[in-house]
Chain A
């Protein structure tokens, strides 16, 4: 602060900001190296130049994936009918809530939505999704608790198809990626859905908690292995956590961040904006 030239001290300060935002040592070092290279090349760089270069570098790391820009809004036709979204992630990150919010957005945009209560394990998970369904005014397919989640998913896709739905969103139970059986179960849910509709799910949305630290990286890696994740949602960014770990995730796995969760209310879902995200990293 107050400096006009990029020196060691400025870079140390930068390192502190990035690490404190959960960006992680590896990605932080990567970003700082790039800045150092540019300083070496351009000889002199003012701190205000640094600022804009930094934003550029981070934006580059946040993967460029065109599909994200196309389907980010809720009005654009989805190309297939029904467009099936399977939502996965570790325990308590905000999957069910995100489904409720997504359903609300699609519904508001005039799309017909069907939800599948595929978490048949966690206490009252089906009730929770059904309440979201009521709130939004969309049907929820459920087989009750302790039933086969794959069969719920199948029925949701079937029902969605038969009733001419635009979007089917399937909830799954939270699971830690270290639990092999549970990860295999996800693959099975996918396979069973494909018996009805070969291309389903068209989207596998991995939900990450914005306050999670470096473990989010391993989550992205393992869920991708099990289910070929196609998009990310980062929740709980209404708090003081910055969610910086997604910069490295998006860089390494080339999975676009599509949505961010900014609260518990039905309207608290936003389409991800790189620019806003980067700004928020540097906001005190």
Chain B
């Protein structure tokens, strides 16, 4: 893909005549190639358009040294741009408060429950007292899933199998954490679609009831064009603090990361890179930029 893009750009630029400077006219075809490469990597169509417009502005007037691979230079411009847009530096989660409360939300199957386990595992290793709460009252065996993970990592799971009120369970979990002097409580919630009004209201109510220190939106890195709609709606309803990108152990290009960052301006805080409890990493914008470009 990367070689592909670089070749295409080289070709587009080689057909130019004249000064060797990028001009308004000659940049058009290269910009189109860049835009296609981005949408092929699942960057949202409109986001890709905005970004390539910015790149066009920045590229125009710059000296292109035909001898030293103009395609390479353009790719570097694009890479730097993507890195900058995704936030430059890695950002961590806020675990202040007693207890610190972390709310986990996202679409069905995105990796919330697995991430809940991973984050708890990570926090526990830092020597803090952490519990997780099972507030998915819908999915068959959701509680059992979290309990299995809890056992694996030696973390207590707060659950109320007979309670069909997610808000109550979340509130009780926080009370329980306070009484038992836990430092951190992580709330796992059911997967939901952004257009499911009742379910969005539920998670909004959970948030209001427990006032989390940190709300994280978990999204599958394989997500396509729809990532922006989902992220926007979840952000409108929850005003989340950060994004968790999952399943990065595969070969998805992860353009959703860039789209979401552009649309909601919230940092990506973690990358989930496998099914095991250890498979968690902080987010590196420059690596993500390379990945999107297939480098």
Residues of A within 8 A of B249 (CB): 176, 178-179
**A212 vs B222: C-alpha distance in the bound complex, in angstroms?**
5
Q: Which of B36, B140, B223 contacts A25, CB < 8 Å?
A: B36
Binds A, one of B21-29, B78-86, B105-113, B172-180: B105-113
**Is B275's CB within 8 Å of the partner chain A?**
yes
Q: Are A124 and B145 in contact (CB under 8 A)?
A: yes
Q: Determine the residue in chain B with the shortest Cβ distance to A122.
A: B275
Q: Which of A20, A93, A125, A131 contacts B109, CB < 8 Å?
A: A93
Q: Are B226 and A239 in contact (CB under 8 A)?
A: yes
Cβ-Cβ contact count across A and B, 8 Å cutoff: 136
Q: Are B251 and A128 in contact (CB under 8 A)?
A: no
Q: Which of A92, A124, A127, A238 contacts B220, CB < 8 Å?
A: A92
Interface of B is mostly: loop
**A275 vs B163: C-alpha distance in the bound complex, in angstroms?**
43
**Is B250's CB within 8 Å of the partner chain A?**
yes
Q: Are A240 and B195 in contact (CB under 8 A)?
A: yes
Cβ distance A21 to chain B, nearest Cβ, rounded Å: 7
**Is A153's CB within 8 Å of the partner chain B?**
no
Q: Are B109 and A215 in contact (CB under 8 A)?
A: no
Residues of A within 8 A of B40 (CB): 24-25, 214
Cβ distance A136 to chain B, nearest Cβ, rounded Å: 11
Q: Are A240 and B194 in contact (CB under 8 A)?
A: yes
0/1 interface trace, chain B 232-250, chain A, CB 8 Å (1 if under)? 0000000000000001011
0/1 interface trace, chain A 164-184, chain B, CB 8 Å (1 if under)? 000000000000111100000
Residues of B within 8 A of A149 (CB): none
Q: Are B229 and A240 in contact (CB under 8 A)?
A: yes
**Is B2's CB within 8 Å of the partner chain A?**
no
Cβ distance A125 to chain B, nearest Cβ, rounded Å: 8
**A176 vs B221: C-alpha distance in the bound complex, in angstroms?**
12
Q: Are B140 and A92 in contact (CB under 8 A)?
A: no
0/1 interface trace, chain A 18-60, chain B, CB 8 Å (1 if under)? 0111101100000000000000000000000000000000000
Residues of A within 8 A of B152 (CB): 123
Cβ distance B292 to chain A, nearest Cβ, rounded Å: 12
**Is B265's CB within 8 Å of the partner chain A?**
no
Cβ distance B38 to chain A, nearest Cβ, rounded Å: 10
Task: Find the residue from B144, B224, B255 having the highest chain A CB count within 10 A.
Answer: B224
The interface size bin for chain A is 35 or more
Residues of A within 8 A of B109 (CB): 91-94, 209, 236
**A122 vs B146: C-alpha distance in the bound complex, in angstroms?**
11
Cβ distance B141 to chain A, nearest Cβ, rounded Å: 4
Q: Determine the residue in chain B with the shortest Cβ distance to A208.
A: B222
A 225-284 contacts with B by CB, 8 A = 236, 238-242, 245, 264
Residues of B within 8 A of A92 (CB): 108-111, 220, 247
**Is A90's CB within 8 Å of the partner chain B?**
yes
**Is B193's CB within 8 Å of the partner chain A?**
yes
**Is A16's CB within 8 Å of the partner chain B?**
yes
Task: Find the residue from A21, A124, A178, A211 having the highest chain B CB count within 10 A.
Answer: A211
Q: Are A214 and B224 in contact (CB under 8 A)?
A: yes
Residues of B within 8 A of A130 (CB): 141
**Is B286's CB within 8 Å of the partner chain A?**
no
Q: Are A215 and B110 in contact (CB under 8 A)?
A: no
Known: A94-B109, A123-B148, A214-B253. A128 touches B140 (CB 8 A): yes
**Is B6's CB within 8 Å of the partner chain A?**
no
**Is A139's CB within 8 Å of the partner chain B?**
no
B 15-68 contacts with A by CB, 8 A = 36, 39-42, 44-45
Known: A213-B255, A213-B256, A214-B40. A236 touches B108 (CB 8 A): yes
Residues of B within 8 A of A25 (CB): 36, 39-40
Residues of B within 8 A of A80 (CB): none
Known: A19-B39, A131-B140, A240-B194. A211 touches B251 (CB 8 A): no
| 5 more CB-based (< 8 A) A-B contacts, given A25-B39, A179-B249 | A91-B247, A92-B247, A124-B147, A215-B252, A236-B108
B interface, CB within 8 angstroms of A? 36, 39-42, 44-45, 107-111, 113, 138-141, 144-149, 152, 193-195, 220, 222-227, 229-230, 247, 249-253, 255-256, 275
| A-B pairs with lowest CB-CB distance, top 5 | A213-B224, A92-B109, A213-B42, A123-B148, A131-B140
24 intermolecular pairs with C-beta atoms under 8 Å apart: A90-B247, A92-B109, A92-B220, A94-B108, A122-B275, A123-B113, A123-B145, A123-B146, A123-B148, A124-B144, A128-B139, A128-B140, A135-B140, A209-B222, A211-B107, A211-B220, A211-B230, A213-B223, A214-B41, A239-B226, A241-B224, A241-B226, A242-B226, A264-B108
